[in-house]
């Protein structure tokens, strides 16, 4: 992995309310802890060079993307947000052309917050809309209404921030083909240049997921569409967004030309990034020649993070890096180049993966375009099953 500008991710795990579908390390906390958390974030940013060295990674000071995610970063006080950005700019060399994204929940973009975003250099905002149907949003704990979203988009544009993403979830309780079509139509009508479409995750890590698995009725679980319907919703979204000039470029992401998320592309193309905050993961080039990279992350517990608990480190071997190149790169519609992987990792190493590629192509889950291999539409629907075929590596955690 060659050295290149860093991406910086900052986790803000605070929310106004905990959505029933959420399986992230975020929750509702007293504002009393906000200041302590920001103190810890700023301290970690200041100590980043030392941490990188201790973890065995090479840290570039040049930064070309910053992403504040959560949770809901816009629940912070404006001054707290500015402290975080001030710490980043003191420690790193942020490019004037950097993409700087902040996630926000509709209804949290106060005038003071908008002014703060501009002072911090924010040029991209991602809105957690999930649905334009008020009943669906309310059923999972969202506090906004359709009108709130439209107002926030207008206010962002008036403030000079036109690079806006809208998140939508296919498979929410009460969602139907008709209501999903309404949400897609509304999203397209806003004219935003980027949309993220996620299929509802049903697992033990969310209250809604646990209730669906148990066959219960809390959190409107008995109104969750079945898997076939959710897959149809996802396919419909791709077709509608493509027809509107917002083509898919990654499993869950769609953008007008030139508006692809530069920060997230770092993850999928294995460029280095440094994470700060609860459960914020980092990946840096390894200083040890026998390894390709080093990954590390703090605890996903707010209490442990604020009390300065240690980091969990994973050394990524070259064979593990090759496999990551497959299952991360295959998230992108353009796929991965076997020629480029052979050049970087050696033909013999890539040859070991060709059997899986051949089988997946034969099963209609992948296709070949010259030296490129990519997922088919059906492959994207079962992408985790495809990716498992490439997870064979010997990562070493310590």
pLDDT along the chain (398 residues), means of 10: 84 87 70 91 97 96 96 92 97 98 95 96 97 95 93 97 98 97 98 97 86 90 93 97 98 98 97 96 96 95 88 93 94 95 90 88 94 94 90 57
Spelled out in words, what is the top-level CATH class assigned to the domain 6-265? alpha beta
List the domain boundaries for the chain. Answer: 6-265, 318-398
**CATH fold of the domain at 318-398:** Arc Repressor Mutant, subunit A (1.10.10)
pLDDT score at 393 = 47
Instruction: Provide the pLDDT for residue 26.
Output: 61
Cα Rg for the chain, rounded, in angstroms?
21
Contact, 217 vs 187, CB < 8 A?
no
Beta strands in the chain (DSSP E): 6-12, 57-58, 62-70, 93-104, 124-130, 164-170, 194-199, 248-250, 253-255, 273-276, 282-286, 291-297, 312-317, 336-337, 366-369, 372-375, 396-397
- Return the pLDDT at 47: 97
Other beta carbons within 10 angstroms of residue 308's beta carbon come to 10
pLDDT at 28: 61
Q: Work out the number of other CB atoms within 10 angstroms of the CB of residue 226.
A: 9
What are the helix (H) ranges across 219-337?
A: 227-243, 262-268, 302-306, 318-329
- Which runs of E-coded beta strand occur in 204-321? 248-250, 253-255, 273-276, 282-286, 291-297, 312-317
Please give the C-alpha separations between residue 67 and each of 9, 16, 73, 92, 115, in angstroms, as whole numbers: 5, 20, 10, 14, 18
């Amino acid at each position: 992995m060659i050295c290149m500008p860093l991406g910086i991710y900052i986790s803000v795990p605070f929310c106004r309310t905990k959505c029933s579908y959420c399986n992230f390390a975020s929750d509702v906390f007293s504002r009393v802890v906000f200041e302590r958390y920001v103190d810890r974030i700023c301290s970690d940013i200041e100590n980043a060079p030392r941490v990188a060295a201790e973890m065995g990674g090479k840290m570039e000071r040049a930064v070309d993307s910053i992403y504040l995610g959560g949770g809901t970063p816009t629940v912070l006080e404006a001054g707290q947000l500015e402290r975080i950005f001030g710490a980043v700019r003191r420690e790193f060399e942020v490019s004037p052309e950097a993409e700087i994204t902040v996630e926000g929940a509709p209804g949290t973009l106060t005038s003071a917050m908008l002014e703060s975003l501009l002072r911090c250099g924010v040029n991209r905002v991602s809105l957690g809309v999930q649905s334009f149907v008020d009943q669906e949003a309310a059923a999972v704990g969202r506090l906004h209404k359709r009108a709130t979203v439209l107002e926030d988009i207008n206010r962002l544009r008036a403030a000079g921030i036109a690079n806006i993403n809208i998140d939508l979830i296919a498979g929410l309780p009460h969602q139907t083909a008709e209501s999903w079509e309404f949400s897609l139509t509304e999203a397209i009508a806003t004219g935003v240049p980027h949309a993220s479409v996620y299929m509802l995750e049903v697992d033990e890590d969310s209250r809604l997921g646990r209730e669906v698995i148990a066959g219960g009725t809390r959190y409107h679980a008995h109104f969750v569409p079945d898997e076939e319907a959710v897959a149809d919703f996802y396919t419909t979204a791709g077709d509608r967004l493509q027809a509107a000039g917002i083509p898919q470029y990654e499993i869950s992401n769609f953008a007008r030309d030139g508006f692809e998320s530069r920060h997230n592309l770092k993850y999928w193309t294995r460029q280095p990034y440094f994470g700060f905050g609860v459960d914020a993961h980092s990946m840096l080039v390894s200083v040890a020649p026998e390894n390709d990279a080093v990954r590390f992350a703090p605890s996903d517990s707010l209490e442990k993070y604020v009390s300065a608990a240690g980091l969990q480190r994973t050394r990524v071997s070259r064979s593990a890096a090759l496999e990551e190149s497959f299952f991360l790169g295959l998230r992108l519609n353009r796929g991965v180049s076997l020629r480029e992987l052979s050049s970087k990792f050696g033909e013999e190493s890539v040859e070991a993966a060709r059997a899986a590629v051949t089988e997946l192509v034969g099963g209609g889950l992948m296709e070949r375009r010259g030296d490129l291999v990519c997922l088919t539409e059906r492959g994207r629907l079962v992408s985790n099953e495809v990716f498992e075929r490439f997870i064979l590596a010997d990562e070493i955690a310590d």
